[in-house]
Structure 1
Amino acid sequence: MQLTKGMEYFVAGFSLLSQKGLKRFVFIPLLINVLLFGGSLFFLYDWLTQGFAYLNGLLPDWLSWLEWLMWPIAILVILFSYSMVFTVITNFIAAPFNGLLSEKVELHLTGQPINDDGFADLVKDVPRMLGREWSKLVYYLPRAIGFFILLWMLPFIGQILWVLFSCWMYNVQYNDYPFDNHKISFKEMKDTLKAHQGLSYGFGFAVMVLTSIPIVNLIVMPAAVCGATKLWVENYRTQFRS
């Protein structure tokens, strides 16, 4: 089943993290994720604590129990909304390193380099990589706003749509790195992923679930890059070889 196979590719990404020759390329994306994700969650928790304390001070004593209701709601919103938004932002910053990691994973899996560019050429390519991340951000934001509104207007249907959208975006976010390394357009990449929806939603669902788990989510980004590259090599690479 393609859905299960997509999940398996993400899981396979974790085993690639420790492969000889890849560890040093994993370190920088991992460090960026730990610093930004971990730091932001700390400040967000502090902000929520102060906010709830302020709101609790405004409530009469007989309504103080509402604080215990607000915390679970806030945590659910953070897990399923904040994680997706922050992932997009973090990957924007880490894009050049994720692209390099994907390139090295493909070399490890196939034994064939994508190109022979040196470090100077990689630096010159950074603006293009950031432009690609900007395309993903432009694609994501208006849709995220629309689905987020539906999340509150149509609770049950909205939640299903938000989960499906999140799965799709995690899939787009990480599968784009190997596609971009081969200079395949953003539109062509999306069309290809849509043609294999089982793989796409299975992979995205697995990423979404682990991204919502504290501590574990700190290593999801490099693992997802590795898993997506393996998915590319075994399913799409031949299709785009000249």
Structure 2
Amino acid sequence: MQLGRGFEYFFSGFPMITEKGLKRFVLIPLLINLVIFGTSLFFIYGWLTDAFAWINAQLPEWLSWLEWLLWPLAFLVVLFSYSMIFTVITNFIAAPFNGLLAEKVELHLTGQRVNDDGLLDTMRDVPRMLGREWTKLCYYLPRAIGFFILMWFLPIIGQIIWALFTCWMFAIQYKDYAFDNHKVSFADMKRDLNAHRGLSYGFGAGVMICAMIPILNMIVMPVAVCGATKLWVENYRNNYRGQ
């Protein structure tokens, strides 16, 4: 039940990115995503092309057919790992804008401001936001390395574990903006997400699926911020009212 609700929350972000009053706050995260994803895909494709040209040159002619087998495998590996790794990097850069988007979405949904900070106060808050992204990165990297290695040495089971971990990290990444706007600690945020694991895995699964679809993955970031903020408002916000 919670899995399905979490999945629905992610997709509820699609109509919100076109809502009047929110579109301008979607634009900057969207542009950041377009530039980083587009540039990185260009270089990855070039690197794979060079790598396969070298491999093909080493193979005898009668084994040249292996290139047609390796390309789909490489493509699947890139889709499976790239969506999470580069999304983490992109969100680190876009964190202040995603935090602002989450704030405006909450205002749109509740009619209440998260805080009364002006532009100068928001700018002063940027180092704290980047520090929060660093905390998430430190949480992510050692686990990602371990699970990524496991994915290669433990077929099928390793892939399942990596997929579950990716869903979990997507939930942490995008739900955290609303928590952070309310100055909820990273540890308390993880505790709340653990208490509703189904919502987190369902939401993360929606992000993961769309992040692996070319073109669609370009708008995943603002959609996920919007959907995650709605999830916050309807499931966690009342726990922190008055704090």
* Short-chain TM bin: over 0.9
CA distance in 1, matches of 2:212, 2:68: 21
Q: What is the distance in 2 between the residues matched to 1:59 and 1:153?
A: 25
* Equivalence for 2:203: 203
Aligned residue for 2:227? 227
Rounded to whole Å, the distance in 2 between the matches of 1:74 and 1:10 is 28
Distance in 1, matches of 2:62 and 2:172, equals: 48
Q: What secondary structure does 2:156 align onto?
A: helix
Unmatched tracts of structure 1, length 5 or more: none
Distance 1:74 1:93 in 2: 27
TM-score, normalised with respect to structure 2: 0.99
Identical residues among aligned pairs (%)? 71
- CA distance in structure 2 between the aligned counterparts of 1:83 and 1:163, rounded to whole angstroms: 11
- Summarize the alignment of residues 169-184 of structure 1 with structure 2, pairs less than 5 Å apart: 169-184=169-184
- Residue 80 of structure 2 corresponds to 80
The AA in structure 1 aligned to 2:207 is V
Give runs of aligned pairs for residues 95-134 of structure 1, distance below 5 A.
95-134=95-134
Partner deviation per Cα, 1:114-138 (whole Å, 9 max, x = no partner): 1111111111000000000000000
The size of the alignment, in residue pairs, is 242
What's the CA shift for 1:149?
1.0
Detail structure 1 runs of 4+ shifted over 6 Å in the superposition. none
Residue identity opposite 1:121 in structure 2: D
Tell me the distance in 2 between the aligned counterparts of 1:42 and 1:149. Answer: 25
1:35-59, Cα deviation, whole Å (9 max, x unpaired)? 0001110111111111111111111
Separation (CA, whole Å) in 2 of partners of 1:140 and 1:92: 12
1:152 & 1:45 partners in 2: Cα distance? 21
Q: Distance in 1 between matches of 2:23 and 2:9?
A: 19
Distance 1:75 1:149 in 2: 18
The separation in 1 between residues aligned to 2:139 and 2:176, in whole angstroms, is 13
- Structure 2: state its 5+ residue gaps: none
**TM-score scaled by structure 1?**
0.99
User: Cα distance, 1:186 vs. partner?
Assistant: 0.4
- Three-state SS of the structure 2 residue aligned to 1:131 is helix
- Residue 238 of structure 1: aligned partner: 238
Distance apart, 1:73 and its partner CA: 1.1
